[in-house]
Amino acid sequence: MLDSKSFNSVLDDLENHNGEFIDVLDKFIKLAVNKFRTTEELREEIEDYEDIYQILITDINFKFWLKVSNGSIIYKKGLNRYASFRVKYTKNILIKILKREMHGIDAFMKGIINVDGDLSQGLRFIKLFRMLVEYLNNGFKK
């Protein structure tokens, strides 16, 4: 089973390998989305969401989006022109956030990441992202 220590180790190993990083991140996201779909407690957390979140990792040209609606979540690679909230990271910043070396809000306040969307969408994205990061860092036990 993947634990927090091994998750960070995987991230460390992938920092210099963009293609592998994309593949592993894709697998992690799919696992987390599946966990949201199959865990009543997590579905309840996103029950009142009605948003499409576009995530762009600019320096490695990886784009994906999450549609969250009525307790369900869909993950797709690419661009979604109907996304109501967009966030742009660099790979290194995303790794720091995933490893909990930096908080996304701090990165935003310092101008390190860019967002486009309203405050309520941003707050829901933060909650969703924190649940995802917590889940990843706790070894998929939640």
Residues 85-116: tens digit of each pLDDT: 999 999 999 988 888 889 888 888 899 999 99
* Residue 107 to residue 27: CA distance in whole angstroms: 25
Question: Distance between CA 73 and CA 66 in Å, rounded?
Answer: 7
| pLDDT at residue 58, rounded to an integer | 95
Residue 122's CB is within 10 A of a number of other CB atoms, namely 18
What's the DSSP call for residue 130?
Answer: H
CATH of domain 4-137: 3.30.1050.10
Instruction: Report the relative pairing of strands 50-57 and 85-89 from DSSP bridges.
Output: parallel
Query: Is 133:97 a contact under the CB 8 Å cutoff?
Result: yes
Q: What is the pLDDT of residues 28-81, one digit of tens each?
A: 889 888 888 888 888 888 899 999 999 999 999 999 999 999 889 999 999 999
Orientation angle between helical segments 18-38 and 119-137, nearest 10 degrees:
100
**Whole-angstrom distance, CA of residue 122 vs CA of residue 126:** 6
Does pLDDT of 19 surpass 50? yes
User: Residue type at 38?
Assistant: T
Q: Is the pLDDT of residue 84 over 80?
A: yes
Domain ranges of the chain: 4-137
